[in-house]
Structure 1
Amino acid sequence: MAQPNSVKVLEICQIGPPPKSVPTTSLPLTFFDIPWLLCRPMQRLFFYELPYPTDHFKQTILPILKHSLSLTFQHFFPLASNLICPPQPLKPHILYTDGVSALLTITECMGDFDHIIANYPRDARDLHPFVPQLNPARVLPDNTRVVPLTSLQLTVFPNSGICIGVPFCHVAADGKAFHHFMKSWASICRKIIKGDLDCIDSNSTLLPFHNREVIKDPNGLEPNFLEEWWNWASTWKEDTRLINDVLADKVRATFVLGQAHIKRLKHMITSQCVDKELEPLHVSTFVVTCALIWVYLIKSQDSPVSKFSDIDNDELYYFNFVADCRNRLEFPIPSTYFGNCLAICFVSLKRCELVGENGIFSAVKAIGNKVRELESGALEGAEKWLLDWKEISELGHFVAVAGSPRLGVYETDFGWGRPKKSEVVQIDVSGAISLAECGDEDGAIEVGLALSRENMDNFNAIFQHDLNLL
């Protein structure tokens, strides 16, 4: 029997820039790109209400989406390109040649659209049929690996909506760059729907900036990162388990932290600083949200049995996030720079500090101090980014953040209105949390989680109880 959210493939095609519109281009990887070479593909879904039958979608909407995508790839060609990984000591790079394209799959789903985009806990496997696979890497005779960097899937829910699914390799783009691509595609699509033939101005200040020479490397990070990547890649083994086995006991849900709750949380932290006669902390929406979720995640892992077991309260727990460096470095980088430009940040606290009476305050202090440090030196400690990532991820007790409330996910309007829901699917496997601005309330934050059913129940109980006390 077919699963409720199984999809029927209607069409498979390749979409790239218009022929002869982009010259052969090789883009070197900077030290900002190299740490993401072994990262799992990012997987983003956008759901839109669209009350039309499948035939209308295929005949009217699909041709515009294809055409606008091709025009968008003309300017965002790295995503339609390949990652070229020659044998050591040659450096990997991104290569575009005329005719290279991305896989586009068109599917139909008869599942319950409203259930799929709901916030309440659902089977973590529900969203995976809407994420296409990246084309497998090719290995050339000289052992050079050729890796496609993105693919796309359009899924129509007859008379309900559509889903746009895009996995992409992080080495090609960070979140800001990827959402620049998505918003540009959406903008071109809107203009075509309105009959505007000048879909994109070639002199527009909103076009992506591809010149990698703007990234300076005063600390000589690139050769060290390459050496560490080669060493890591030589021992790295791909997880070959089936997704159904990995996610069999997991559910995913979206929790909304309202603007009023965030304001009260900030006030609570600020008041504690005054009461303790401490220097004011960095109390941004991002910081207090991350602190709150980190503490609740640790608490949700406690079971009636574990509370009486030998838990090491002095063990370190880690929190990881990234920070955009486009406006944080001594050398200027355009805001439209296309690639990676992220500082990788880690903070740690003992378990007893996180689950204690002042756990949220301690977490805000730790995360806020790290954010504040970025302003004086975004690359401070960068030489340890890869080594720290490897060591901490192997230790466990590790929470990472995917996405950001500043990416403007819900501004991606193709001409049918804002997305009804956007999801970051890779958190089902990576164990990260996802953050985005709320699609329904200004100033609110959406937090996406994928946990075991027991942990999700525990987290939900803690979240609802504590928010009622704020």
Structure 2
Amino acid sequence: MADSATKIRVVERSAVSPPPRTVAATTLPLTFLDIPWLPFSPDQTLFFFNLPTSTHNFMQAILPNLKHSLSLTLRHFFPLAGSLATPPRPAVPRLEYAADDSILLTIAEAVSGDRFKNSTGYHPRMARDFHKLVPLLQCSSKFGWKHESVLAIQITVFPHQGICMGFTLRHVVADGRTFNNFLKTWAAASSSSSSSSSSSPSSSVVAASHERSLIKDPNGLEEILLKEYWNNTQIPRKDSVQPSLSIFHQDMTRATFVVGPKEMEEIKKWILTRSEQLFGSTQLLLSPYVITCAFVWVCWMKTHWPKWEHDDQDDPKQSTHYFGFIAGGINRLNYSVPSTYSGNYVGFGRSEARRDDLMGENGVLHAAKAIGNTIKRLNSDLLGGAEKWISEWEEMRGSELHVTMTGSPKMDLYGLDFGWGRPVKIEEVSIDETRSMSLCESREVAGGIEIGVCFAKPKLKLFRALFDNGLGPV
């Protein structure tokens, strides 16, 4: 692993708002699909682009268009420039946008030499360096109300090499689909010739719907989940606005792994040769997502318990493990919501398996069955058990027994293009704090899936050995 010594200096900080007098002051209530995100720390994502320019040229020739197109885009995605307003308990948090609200845009320069190539690799790299590339959210208090910004952006220039666009996002304002719509709209406006020469919105900007009445709540989940949220705020947790550079990840290393269609097919065939013997005629759901998640779940398990013994299998708390993930709601609810809806429209999935099953020779098979069954249940009843979403995920988050998966291979994140080509690498920094794994479509392998992990060096070495050896030791 190459020695890491990334250093940056801040060049400029500026506030970017929607165009003047285009958005009125607005208050948006949180739906029952937003509320479960309140306890979560921010999502922190990095997009690296090959753009061999000097810092001076970037500031003079590129940045003005980026700011202008961002402003035009925020006219339609204005909640991202607003704040999450949290009142004293037990009142209801809400999203607020005032006429002078804005997104903090930080421009920085990497001053430590040739670090861009190292940062965009798949090999092990020091996790702490990536935290220098994501911005912090702002927080203020007034009259007992806490106001937290929901999005901040940092663009770091690696002179004559490339740039990194870093985003810190509170998911309470937008799910991955909504944020992806925002990014694609900004990128289209930026790359459009009209966006830099006109003060009117570019034709490439797609309007977003913020109509919260589109979300139906016949079972009163909003009240139930809000009560769950306030009950769980009594549990100590990490600062939701400014994750700290804790001892946990001072010596942590990040790496990216890829599961391609060939490997997926091999795993699927391996599962099918054993499934009838274990589960009879049960039909397993073996999508690329299920296969990939099952495989890396078992690799993750064996990384954390390499010397596991069966002496705890009678203790259900010790022998039961969960795999958490997010399920999109667009095609899973019994009513339609437009694809332009801006907010959260996802559910929470939690798969369960015993440790002795996951660690045994048929671990991937048990993992695939557990994940597939959870997806089947979500397909038929996305909101089944929704009243326990917050308490169940609080049990998983930060626990060494359980793991969560962030991201989706359906987002086409590598299709993002601001006019200088698609990203060369995407990194999900927030997994360092949450002990999660990240997932997105592969840039280099058609139909493949990238998995991002962050472990201490010895564990990363073991995970790599398990991953590379495939179904041998797993």
Q: Is the 8 A contact 2:140 2:148 kept in 1?
A: yes
SS at match of 1:405: coil
Match for residue 140 of structure 2? 138
1:192 is matched by which residue type in structure 2? S
* Structure 2 match to 1:379: 383
Deviations 1:357-409 (A, max 9, x none): 11101111110011111221111111111121223447641100111111111
Which of residues 396, 401, 404 in structure 2 aligns to 1:400?
A: 404
Residue of structure 1 equivalent to 2:329: 325
Change (3 A) 1:352 1:345: same
Query: Which residue of 2 is the match for residue 103 of structure 1?
Result: 104
2:193 equivalent in structure 1: 192
What TM-score, normalized to structure 1?
0.93
Partner of 1:297: 300
Which deviates further from its counterpart, 89-98 or 22-31?
Answer: 89-98
Spell out, residue by residue over 1:203-224, the C-alpha distance to the aligned partner (whole angstroms, 9 max, x if none): x7x4222101010001111011
Structure 1 unaligned blocks of 5 or more: none
Provide Cα deviations, 1:326-374, integer angstroms capped at 9, x if missing partner: 2211121112211111111111111110011111011111100111112
Counterparts of 1:307-346 in structure 2, within 5 Å, are: 307=308, 310=311, 312=313, 315-346=319-350
> Identity of counterpart residues, as a percentage?
40
Q: SS at the partner of 2:378? A: helix
Q: Which residue does 2:207 correspond to in 1?
A: 207
Structure 1 residue 283 corresponds to structure 2 residue 283: no
Q: Contact between 1:192 and 1:199, CA under 8 Å: does it hold in 2?
A: no
Aligned residue number for residue 393 of structure 2: 389
Which residue of 1 is the match for residue 250 of structure 2? 248
2:427: which partner in 1? 423
For residues 408-452 of structure 1, give each alpha carbon's deviation from its aligned partner in whole angstroms, at most 9, with x where no partner exists. 110111111110001110001100100000011210110000011
Q: Work out the CA distance in 1 between the residues paired with 2:193 and 2:133.
A: 26
Which residue of structure 2 aligns with residue 18 of structure 1?
A: 19
Alpha-carbon distance between aligned partners in 2 of 1:279 and 1:330, rounded to the nearest angstrom: 27
Aligned-partner residue type, residue 253 of structure 1: A
Query: Is the 1:86–1:92 contact (alpha carbons within 8 Å) kept by the matching residues of 2?
Result: yes
Aligned amino acid, residue 145 of structure 2: T
Q: Distance in 2 between matches of 1:446 and 1:218?
A: 38
- Establish whether residue 263 from structure 1 lines up as the match of residue 265 from structure 2: yes
Q: Match for 1:448 among 431, 447, 452?
A: 452
Q: Deviations over 1:41-100 (max 9, x none)?
A: 010110000011111111111111111111111111111001111223431111111111
Letter in 1 for 2:14: C
Q: 1:351 aligns with which of 344, 355, 362?
A: 355
CA contact (8 A) 1:301 1:455 kept: yes
* 2:68 aligned partner, one-letter code: H
**CA distance change for structure 1 residues 145 and 49 in 2, over 3 Å: closer, same or farther?**
same
Relative to structure 1, the CA distance from residue 307 to residue 343 in structure 2 (aligned partners, 3 Å threshold; closer, same or farther) is closer
Partners of 2:435 and 2:246 lie apart in 1 by 16
Partners in 2 of 1:238 and 1:427 — Cα distance? 14
Contact 1:133 1:151 survives alignment (8 Å): yes
Three-state SS of the structure 2 residue aligned to 1:407 is coil
- Out of 118, 129, 132, the residue aligned to residue 115 of structure 1 is 118
Judge conservation of contact 1:109–1:157 (CA < 8 Å) in 2.
yes
SS of 2:128's partner is helix
The Cα of 1:193 is off from its aligned counterpart by 7.6
Does the Cα contact within 8 Å between 2:397 and 2:404 map onto a contact in 1? no
The one-letter code matched in structure 1 to 2:320 is L
1:421 is matched by which residue type in structure 2?
K
Q: Which moved more, 1:23-32 or 1:192-201?
A: 192-201
1:208-247 correspondence to structure 2 within 5 Å = 208-238=208-238, 242-243=244-245, 245-247=247-249
Query: CA offset at residue 187 of structure 1?
Result: 0.6
What amino acid sits opposite 1:166 in the alignment?
Answer: F
Aligned counterparts of 1:154 and 1:457: Cα–Cα separation in 2:
32
Instruction: Verify: 1:126 aligned to 2:116, yes or no.
Output: no
Pairwise CA RMSD of aligned residues? 2.2
Provide the residue aligned with 2:81 in structure 1: 80
- Point out the more displaced range, 385-394 or 342-351: 385-394
Q: Are 2:56 and 1:55 aligned? A: yes
User: Counterparts of 2:296 and 2:376 in 1: how far apart (Å)?
Assistant: 20
CA distance in structure 2 between the partners assigned to 1:189 and 1:298 by the alignment: 43
Count of aligned pairs: 462
Give the residue type in structure 1 aligned to 2:411: L
> Compared with structure 1, are the counterparts of its residues 241 and 68 closer, same or farther at alpha carbon in structure 2 (3 Å cutoff)?
closer
CA–CA distance in structure 1, aligned partners of residues 134 and 286 of structure 2: 36
Alpha carbons of structure 1 residues 43 and 241: separation in structure 2 relative to 1, 3 Å: closer
Q: Shift of the alpha carbon at 1:234?
A: 3.7
1:235 deviates by 4.0
Q: Tell me how far apart the structure 1 counterparts of residues 309 and 183 of structure 2 sit (CA, whole Å).
A: 49
- Mapped to 2, the partners of 1:393 and 1:10 lie a distance apart of 36
Greater alpha carbon shift after TM alignment, 10-19 vs 228-237: 228-237
Question: Could you tell me whether the CA contact under 8 Å between 2:16 and 2:104 is conserved in 1?
Answer: yes
